[in-house]
Amino acid sequence: MMKSNSFKGNFEKFDMMVLGVKSDAYRVQFVNGFNKNVIGVLGERAVDSITTRDVVKLIDGISSNSVSNRVLSGLVSFLGWCCGRGECLSNVAAGIPRRVEVSRDVLIDVVELSDDVVNSGVMLEEVSDILKVMMLTGLRHGTIRKLSSVNVCGDNLVICKSIVKNRRDLVVPMLGEVKLIMMKYESGFTVSGVKMSKELSKTGVDWTCHDIRHLIGTNLGQMRVESTLISRILGHAVKGSTEIYNHHNYVDEKREVLCDLRDRFIDSGMAF
């Protein structure tokens, strides 16, 4: 029988009361991270019996720096919530230092991306199309996989915050190539994130879908695009008090830059 103040029992309440009002993308990432890395280790423990040493040992057992930091941030939020409810006396995860995340030293070659991956014929056509949309919009593949004709509005993609990582509504310009791809998948994409990775591994390349976003960001930087506009294209939150008062969607600015980026990729050997 589960203890009344067990970690797992409290996390189920946290999921319902706190994560339930967050965006779907945020909640799924949070819950999956805990189910994979935390529940099996601390799930049956009473929350007030968990020590800082327990948390450090758990975090040290996660090989990926980025995953480790996400789990630690999640533990700080969850245990802080438990403290507020009187389930434990102190937040034992607070104060534990985050790991330094080293940027991957991988910059994709555009010709390799075109010939060996996107247009290789080795992968499913749907995966290839998603990678093309990534390159032409800056969107994450997890967001693209949730799109359908419902999101198409004229020459733009209108995306609700529930499927966006930074939890903000987005208006993304559609270039002609993206519009043609979206017409093929009116009912939405069907491939999963796991399937995306498996299909990419068939090509033999040593990089991930996320590295395409590094390629986009690097090329935009080389094009001398303003950093805040790069952030908007990549779907990163632009922080600062001024942003609270700025309701401009930058769709025209993004369209102009994405057209230039597409032409730059084509000139480098990419075939869309």
**Mean pLDDT, 10 residues at a time, over the chain (272 residues)?**
76 93 81 92 94 94 84 95 94 89 68 81 91 95 93 94 80 95 95 85 81 92 94 86 83 96 93 86
pLDDT tens digits, residue range 221-249? Answer: 999 999 999 999 998 877 777 877 888 88
Q: Are 144 and 134 in contact (CB under 8 A)?
A: yes
pLDDT at residue number 2:
43
> What per-residue confidence (pLDDT) applies to 194?
80
| E strands present in 91-169 | 152-153, 156-159
- pLDDT given at position 119: 81
Report H helices in the chain. 7-17, 24-37, 39-42, 52-60, 65-84, 110-112, 125-137, 141-144, 176-184, 193-201, 210-222, 227-234, 241-244, 251-267
The pLDDT assigned to 1 comes to 41
In this structure, what are the phi and psi dihedrals at residue 152, rounded to the nearest 5 degrees? -85, 125
Phi, then psi, of 6 in degrees rounded to 5: -65, 155
**Predicted local distance difference test score (pLDDT) of residue 82:** 95
Check if the beta carbon of residue 86 is closer than 8 Å to that of residue 47: no
> So what's the pLDDT on residue 193?
84
pTM of the model: 0.67
Q: Residue 22 has what pLDDT?
A: 81
Residue 42, class by beta-carbon neighbours within 10 Å (0-12 exposed, 13-18 middle, 19+ buried)?
buried
